[in-house]
Structure 1
Amino acid sequence: MKSGRLLISILLGGVATGTLLVVALWIWSEVLITRTYPVRPEAASAGSPALAAEGRRLSKLYGCTSCHGADLQGKVYNPNPRLVRNYAPNLTLAAARYSDEQLAQAIRQGVRPSDGRALWGMPSQTLMHLTADELSTVLAFIRSHAPAGAPTPPESAGWRARAAVLAGALDEPRRVARARSRPAMDLGPELAAGRHTARTVCSECHGSDLAGDDLEGGPDLRVVGAYDAEAFTTLMRTGVPPGGRHLGIMTLVARSDFKVFSDAELAELYAYLSARATRLNEAD
C-alpha cells in the first residue's frame, strides 16, 4: 500500500513538474515573440513610377509577390496551426502608413518599424543585400498600388513555432546578424554580379554562405558544379534537373518566380556558382 502511494506521489510530482516546465517555456517563448529590437536608420526612397514594371520583376525574383500576393494585398502562406498560422501583410495598406525609410527598415532589418518587433518569415537575411537602386525600384512597385483590400490577421504561434522561437530559428533580426557573419564566398570582381544574385535570391533557401540551410531545406549550392550551363538554365527556368525528378520547393519556385530571370543574370549566376564549386572541390 505504501509503495502504491509513493508511486502515485512520484507520478503526480512528475506531472506537476512537467506542467510547470511547459508553462515556463510558454511564457518565455511569449517574451521572445513580443520582444523588440533597435530599428536602425535607412537611406531609401521610392524610384519614379516608370520603374514600377522592373520593380514587379524584381519583386517576383525576391519572392515578395509569392508571399504578399500579386496584388500585394497579403495572403496566408503557412496555414499549419502546429507551426504558425502566418499571413504576409497587406503591403498596400502598410505602404499607406509607412514612409520609404520605414518600408526599407522592414525589408532590410526584419523588424516592424512601428515597434521594433521581429517580422516572422521576412527574408531580411537575403534582402539586406539589395543595392540602393534595387530597393528604390522595389519601392516604386509597392508605391504603384493604391491602398486596397483588408488587413491580414495577426500570426498565431503553435507549439512547434514556439519551440523554433526558443531555438532562435524564427528570429529574423538574429538571422540577419548570423547572415552577416557567414557571407558567400567572394571570388573577385569578375564574378561579383553572379555573387550578388546568389546573395539576393538563392541565399533565402540555401543559406547566407550558400552552404545549405537546415531550416529552409536548401542544399549546398556546390551541387551546381555537376551542371553545365545549359542544364543549369533549364533547371532555373523550368525546375527540371537532369533526370527529370521533382525538386520540391525548387521546382515550384523556378516555375513561378525564376522564369523572370534574364539570360544575362542566369549566365552570371552560373559563372559564379560553378566557380565556387570548383574552388571548394579544389580545397578538398
Structure 2
Amino acid sequence: MVDIRWGVLGAARIARKAVVPAIRRSGAGEVVAVSSASGRAAEFAADLGIERHYASHEELLADPDVDAVYVPLPNTEHARWSIAAARAGKHVLCEKPIVQGLAELDAVEAAAADAGVQLAEAFMYRHHPQLARLRELLDSGAIGRLVTVESSFHFVQGRQEPLDIRLRRDLGGGALNDIGCYPVDLLGWLTGSEPDDVGVVAHRDVPDGANTRVAIAARYGELTANLHCSLDAAFRADARLHGSEGTIHLPDAFRADVRGGTARIVVERGEERTVVEVDGDQYGAQVAHFAERVRTGTPDPDDAALTRRTAATLERITKAASL
C-alpha cells in the first residue's frame, strides 16, 4: 500500500480538530507538512506533531515529499490554491464549497485533468453510511413516492474580533456558503439534478455584509423543497423527506460526528415509528476514499457530477438573492 504524504494549506480549526485526526486514524496516509500565511504554521505543527511547517503555501507546494494537499482556506481562496496545487502535481481535497461558481470549477477541473491528479470536494456527510441506508429505504418504497423535502442547518456563530471569516463577505463568508451548501448538496444527491425553479430570501445583520440567514424554495421536477440556514439560531442539521405514505427524518443528516458518528434515521408510516441507527466515521471515510483514489488513480465521476450540480445551484441562489 502506498502511504500518502499529506500537506495542509492553512492552519484552520477544521484541519486541527477533524481532518488531520481523520487522516491518522483511517489509514489515509501521513500528514507531513502544514503552511500558513498568517504565521500559525509552527504552532499548528508543534501541537499536532507534524514534521514540517512553512510560512507560505508556495513553499509547501514546492515540497517534493508532499503527494496530496487538504485545502481549508477561506472560500474565495479555494479555486486559486486548488489550481496551484494541481499544477504543482499535488492531489487536492478542498473544503466545501470548492469554488465560487461554475467558471472557477471549470478552471479547477481543467488544472487537475492537465496534471493528472485527483480532485475532490470535502463534503464529509456524503461519506456517512446513513446515505446508503436512506437510498435503500427510498428505493424499497418505505415512504411511497417522495413528494417534498425540508432541510435545515443552523448554529449560533459568535461575533469574534477580528471578524470571523464566516462573516466576511469579501472572503466568501455567509450562512449559504458555510452551512446552507449542505442542504443544497443533499437535494442534488437525492434528485440527481439541478432545480427547475428557485426562490430565495436572505437576511444580513449589516447592510452589504455577509448573509446570516437564507431561505430557499426549489422545485426539482415534481419534487418540491424548502431549505434553510442561519448563523444565529440554535443548532440543527437535519432533513425531513415526506412521501405519499410516510416520512423519513434524518436528525443527524450532516453532523453525525456530533453524536460520536451515530446517525439516526426515523421512519414514520401512520402510527408506526421506527428508528434505525447507523454508525460511521464520515471524516475518516472521506479521507480514506480520497486516499484510495490517489493510490489507484481512479476518479469518482458521480462525486464530481454532484459537485458540479451543487456549484451550479449555489451560483444560481447567490445571483437570485444578490448574495
TM exceeding 0.5 = no
Asked which structure has the greater CA Rg, the reply is 1
TM-score, structure 2 as length reference: 0.27
- Whichever structure has more strand as a proportion of its residues is 2
- Whichever structure has more helix as a proportion of its residues is 1
